[in-house]
């Protein structure tokens, strides 16, 4: 038997004291007891080195490199690095962070010094099993993705991208209106000029590009997304390799994209999850939107569409570049803590104003070979209501808080046909093996 603990985003800035803080220790003892434990490294462990990028993932998430040691002490030994914050300090900051991970000989995947390295599988060997990780991100800014290395030119460091092919479906009369607006503004003429000069290519049949979006008259209104074929093939290649050379294959995806609500995954995420499972993945762990999403079981493989925040210390970032002060329209005389306080209007908007960003779960998956045989869910609270420098630290939830978290996760999972049984302060998967 092999046990695997799974968590979402770790936005860590301070010491956890996971072995000595009595409030936190019971949770981390569960993680340390697992054969393997995964977390998404949402910060860049770069000691604030590198050059702050103009476009960050929302806030520049630099961090001291010793946060890696804190996470290792907390029990983690598998790290995803592919997020919309991976390039917050440009290429130089990412390379420094990768050096810190490599120096500690940690199992990490999702970023690299070229595309092949970013897509490459990473392995963790334990006494009970060899686990593997392939990690990617669907949410990122243009230029943050790694590029291919060729015989003639080095590749670009960056993250492992899962680009999304996006089309906006409209009614025929609406498409004609969009075309007229584009012509009247001169946008279409500029696009034709770019095509004539060879800078861009003709759009696919029936597609009309406007303002960075692709429109098509299909008789109904909607936003339709699917995984980019080239990226999907590149990722599946390494999932198949992981299947050959390990017992349990873990695939991580960082994706903020949503369906009808924040708690619903975009359809392309489900397509991606099914594809990697068909290629050999044993468990899919999603993160990015900072909220819980449901659990689906597909071919006896768990798909966690988002595990939300696990460590939420984003208000404790110690240093911010000038661009952050411009973005949030505050004076440079404010220290970072005051900037975040003003950004949230003293906890009245943003993450501090909503409890769902401060509640998550800790799934413990038990595998026999690479078959899931049991799944236990522990509810976790991040301590909303405590002082800013204390909240964001995860601990086992209990009582009414635990029940509320478990019931909410169960409700989010029900549309996927997943049945969870709640028992005091835990829940477990009750689908029978044939249903799984």
pLDDT in tens, 100-135: 999 999 999 999 999 999 999 999 999 999 999 999
- pLDDT at residue 83 in the model: 97
- CATH code of 47's domain: 3.60.21.10
Indicate whether 80 belongs to any domain: yes
Would you give the DSSP letter of residue 364? Answer: E
Rounded to 5 degrees, what angle do the CA atoms 185, 187, 189 make? 105
How confident is the model at residue 431, as a pLDDT?
A: 66
The answer to whether residues 114 and 156 touch, using CB atoms and an 8 Å cutoff, is: yes
Give the closest residue to 167 by CA, choosing from 222, 232, 130, 123.
222
Residue 157 lies in a domain: no
Cα 147 to Cα 435: distance, rounded to the nearest angstrom: 41
Q: 99 and 180: one domain?
A: no
254 occurs within a structural domain: yes
User: Would you state the structure tokens that stand for residue 261, as one six-digit string?
Assistant: 């609500």
**pTM, to two decimals:** 0.94
Residues 6+ positions from 364 with CB-CB distance below 8 Å: 3, 4, 5, 6, 30, 34, 375, 376, 377, 378
CA-CA-CA-CA dihedral for 216, 219, 220, 224, to nearest 10: -30
Same domain, 91 and 114: yes
Positions in the chain short of pLDDT 70 = 431-436
Locate tokens 């911010």: which residue? 320
| Shared-domain flag, residues 115 and 218 | no
Same domain, 172 and 300: no
Tell me if 174 is assigned to some domain. Answer: yes
Residues paired with residue 391 on neighbouring β-strands, in sequence order: none
DSSP 13: -
Same domain, yes or no, for 214 and 307?
no
Structural domain count, the chain: 2
Instruction: Give CA–CA dist 119/114, Å, rounded.
Output: 9
**What pLDDT does residue 58 have?**
86
**Do 356 and 422 belong to one domain?**
yes
Alpha-carbon span 360 to 7, nearest angstrom: 8
Sheet holding 122-125, edge to edge: 122-125, 130-137, 248-254, 283-287, 301-304, 295-298
- Give the pLDDT of residue 435: 42
Range of the domain at 124: 2-149+228-429
171 and 200 in a single domain? The answer is yes
Q: Which two tokens stand for residue 367?
A: 């595998």
């Amino acid at each position: 038997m092999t046990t695997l603990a799974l968590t979402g985003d770790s936005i860590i800035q301070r010491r956890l004291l996971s072995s000595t803080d009595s409030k936190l220790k019971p949770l981390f003892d569960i993680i340390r007891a697992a054969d393997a434990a995964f977390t998404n490294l949402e910060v860049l462990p770069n000691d604030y080195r590198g050059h702050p990028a103009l476009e960050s993932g929302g806030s520049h998430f630099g961090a001291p490199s010793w946060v890696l040691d804190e996470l290792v002490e907390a029990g983690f030994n598998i790290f995803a690095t592919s997020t919309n914050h991976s390039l917050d300090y440009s290429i130089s900051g990412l390379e420094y962070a990768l050096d810190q991970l490599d120096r500690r000989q940690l199992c990490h995947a999702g970023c690299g010094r070229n595309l092949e390295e970013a897509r490459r599988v990473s392995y963790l060997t334990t006494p009970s099993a060899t686990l593997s990780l392939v990690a990617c991100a669907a949410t990122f800014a243009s230029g943050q993705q790694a590029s291919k290395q060729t015989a003639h030119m080095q590749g670009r460091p960056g993250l492992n991208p899962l680009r999304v092919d996006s089309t906006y479906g409209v009614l025929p009369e609406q498409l004609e209106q969009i075309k007229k607006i584009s012509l009247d503004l001169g946008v279409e003429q500029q696009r034709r000029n770019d095509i004539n000069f060879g800078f861009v290519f003709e759009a696919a049949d029936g597609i009309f590009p406007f303002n960075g979006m692709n429109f098509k008259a299909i008789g109904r209104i909607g936003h339709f997304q699917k995984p980019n074929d080239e990226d999907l093939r590149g990722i599946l290649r390494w999932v198949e390799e992981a299947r050959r050379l390990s017992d349990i294959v873990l695939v991580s995806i960082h994706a903020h994209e949503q369906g009808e609500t924040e708690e619903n995954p975009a359809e392309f995420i489900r397509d991606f999850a099914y594809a990697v499972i068909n290629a050999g993945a044993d468990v899919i762990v999603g993160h990015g939107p900072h909220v819980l999403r449901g659990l689906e079981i597909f071919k006896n493989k768990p798909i966690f569409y988002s595990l939300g925040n696990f460590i939420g210390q984003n208000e404790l970032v110690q240093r911010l570049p000038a661009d952050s002060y411009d973005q949030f329209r505050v004076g440079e005389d404010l220290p970072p803590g005051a900037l975040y306080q003003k950004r949230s209007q003293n906890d009245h908007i943003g993450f501090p104003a909503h409890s769902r960003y401060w509640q998550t779960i800790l799934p413990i998956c038990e595998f026999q070979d690479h078959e899931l045989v049991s799944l236990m869910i522990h509810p976790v609270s991040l301590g909303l209501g405590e002082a800013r420098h204390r909240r964001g630290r995860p601990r086992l939830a209990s009582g009414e808080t635990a029940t509320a978290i478990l019931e909410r996760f169960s409700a989010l999972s029900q549309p996927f046909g997943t049945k969870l049984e709640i028992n005091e302060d835990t829940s477990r998967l009750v689908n029978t093996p044939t249903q799984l």
